[in-house]
Structure 1
């Protein structure tokens, strides 16, 4: 929702980013099995893999090992302009477990928060599901459900173990942009509804124009351009709070933005994407006993998350009208919590246009969700195809308070929609989270998708 676009605070000897291909480290994607279902009890296992996002990778000269980007600044001699930088610099392969703390085993993916490698301390990661060595798997979940198991018992306040979909290109933009020689094999082409400016390469060119190093993250910065596309947050969560949130956009494909179209700063609602989204966070919607340690959905142990995408005519081409949520834990199916907010219908327990309109009205929030096309636009993004993203990150922008605490801080916690979780408003400072919870991790496993009612 308020995701810091790079999702990293990464200190690495010889760290940089780019879209040509280097040869100093072999790229071997960790394998991950998933299941596609056709009916209840009828699921077929598919052998897949994950790939690390290009923003994390070492970028060096095409002819050697000199960094093109160090700390949070570009080498001006190698990267004086976007096109020259793309020509001079090459992405390289990744040591997934040793450098980034990314491991797979069968159908399980574990992302570690802090990884101390021989030359680096890595913070967080972001990976995509691959269909082949050079293409992301594309999903259309209209009239379908998506299910996975989650163990986030070791994710404290201030962290986010996220599973979501972004409307990226299947090949990472390789076919559209001749300067992108790396493609999906090297995790290129990221975009989301926040139109992030800290993506190092957009449309096959380095985002060096107007680059400003971050004042509070020694390894991140922001360039002139952002990278926008529709985003469906299936799961943004830590052990204390969780939310699922559609974010539609008026653009229909990954789009490089500039100026007002990005929705930056005071123009948050004037850009091409709905940055707020229409979120269902059980705590924020009035049930403070539903999800958390020892609660109805007990985050102390693993459980199953089921998300169903209902269409108007129950077809994969119909208009998306509802997003439902179920949980399964210890063999028991748990229905989603009900809304308990004065002024809202107490029977609401899913994301519909009525829910979103009512929520925005009662909370006093701008209804950018409706302005950007609502559920129908979110469905259109799935119809075009979306990429599965899984990540672990801390938040240099808003300290994750929008997920697990009171937010915004200039409003009283008693006002509807402000309280989102039990974490203190002083929590989530990245330096504190990184030093106090280096062993934090999240495990996503048992991914299944298929017709509604087929995966659990």
Structure 2
């Protein structure tokens, strides 16, 4: 589960995704190494990261006048979506001082609050810094080291893949002149409607400022695509969750029904709930956390394997496996301790049994299940890393009883040890604004090649 409205961003008084490329601030992409592995070893390539355009300062192409301030559009620059896209430029970013993003090439630190900015979201760029790196993980594994020791209740340090356009939509939409170099084109399975520009058009129509977040709002359009949440976690809880959609690639939704808003949640393009494997939710309360089997007080390695039915790189995806490595020890994923749900990996059978045991709506199976996630990888998916707090649901779905007023004796309700009143963004940002996650040692390769 990934909240669409929770990523609050402040950048020079604006949190926007624009389409023209500005020149008032130099854009320099921090380096980030990715190693590609085989049974013979790993070879590093020199990639970089780019900040999502939703966090960037956006201004009039002819001046420094904001196109969007607080959570309101400038009506003279943005009278309609097309004119706004033509009038507004997204500019370069000062990654460290404004956004708390620090990279030394092999490790990336994301800090929750830096000055007025809250949260961040970055993508992996290829060596030429013009296009996102695309991944097909069928019959492969993805590994990384992570330090969540400074990640309390209510904060999420996420690493995941989404089916974005390789160039951020630049070649397809004529009003997008910024592209992947400036972090455009985001989409996920929540069909986020807080994205300011979607498919080269400003999300001005129906724009409603948020009542809880002074820097965000929602428009009538959302940006949907398949999403593979490899890692959503803090030091209390973690979940691995595929979310699938009934459309290929990045798709704009234009109504409550297609975006899956409110009572239409299960009618939308994408499966917003996903099929999650959270060890605590699956009944293993001693597996993950400070001092537990996977000890979140220190760094560890996370490995996610994508198994195909015929053991080839082009076969149908049938299973998603998780293992960990810490202090030299390989640790298999916890096994479900929920009655009627067996195993420790994500398969269609596991998902169906889990939905039944938790009395959850099964919108995962109806959109194609695990095989649909494999189909998305066959088209290529983009790596995303982020840190955020949750204005929509206080992150309770990850680390606490959810819903907050649900009967905690019922299977699947409790997802971690955080309190039902935890995770309120104002409190999190005040008390834990220095929360941070460190991602490092990114690797992709053949099964069992990245961690031994």
TM range (shorter): over 0.9
Are residues 133 and 9 of structure 1, via their aligned partners in 2, closer, same or farther at CA, if it must alter by over 3 Å? closer
CA drift at 1:411: 1.9
Are residues 194 and 216 of structure 1, via their aligned partners in 2, closer, same or farther at CA, if it must alter by over 3 Å? same
Q: Which residue of 2 aligns with 1:216?
A: 212
CA drift at 1:229: 0.1
Aligned residues, how many?
Answer: 449
Q: Which residue of 2 aligns with 1:7?
A: 7
CA distance in 1, matches of 2:199, 2:430: 36
Q: Is the 8 A contact 2:136 2:380 kept in 1?
A: yes
Q: Is the 8 A contact 2:9 2:54 kept in 1?
A: no
CA drift at 1:438: 1.5
CA distances 1:242-284 after superposition (whole Å, capped 9, x unpaired): 0000001010010000111111110100111000000000000
Q: Is the 8 A contact 1:17 1:68 kept in 2?
A: no
Q: Which residue of 2 aligns with 1:136?
A: 132
Q: Is the 8 A contact 2:5 2:390 kept in 1?
A: no
Question: What's the TM-score once normalised by structure 1's chain length?
Answer: 0.97
CA distances 1:7-60 after superposition (whole Å, capped 9, x unpaired): 114374355441101110010000011100011x51001100000000000000
CA drift at 1:372: 0.8
Q: 2:422 aligned with 1:449, yes or no?
A: no
CA distance in 2, matches of 1:62, 1:106: 32
Is the partner of 2:297 in helix, strand or coil?
coil
Q: Which residue of 2 aligns with 1:384?
A: 379
Q: Which residue of 1 aligns with 2:337?
A: 340
- Map 1:326-337; keep pairs closer than 5 Å: 326-337=323-334
Q: Which residue of 2 aligns with 1:191?
A: 187
Match of 2:411 among 410, 416, 431: 416
- Map 1:43-442; keep pairs closer than 5 Å: 43-116=42-115, 121-131=116-126, 132-259=128-255, 260-345=257-342, 348-442=343-437
CA drift at 1:400: 0.1
Is the partner of 1:109 in helix, strand or coil?
strand
CA distance in 2, matches of 1:421, 1:264: 27
CA distance in 1, matches of 2:428, 2:289: 19
Is the partner of 2:339 in helix, strand or coil?
coil
CA distance in 2, matches of 1:6, 1:336: 28
Question: What's the TM-score once normalised by structure 2's chain length?
Answer: 0.98
CA drift at 1:354: 0.7
CA drift at 1:343: 2.3
CA drift at 1:158: 0.1
Is the partner of 1:310 in helix, strand or coil?
strand
CA drift at 1:6: 5.8
CA distances 1:173-194 after superposition (whole Å, capped 9, x unpaired): 0010000000000000000000
CA distance in 1, matches of 2:331, 2:54: 38
Which contiguous aligned blocks of 4+ residues in structure 1 show a shift greater than 3 angstroms?
11-17
Any unmatched runs of 5+ in structure 1? none
Q: Is the 8 A contact 1:148 1:306 kept in 2?
A: yes
CA distance in 2, matches of 1:15, 1:61: 14
Q: Is the 8 A contact 1:168 1:386 kept in 2?
A: yes
CA distance in 2, matches of 1:5, 1:351: 27
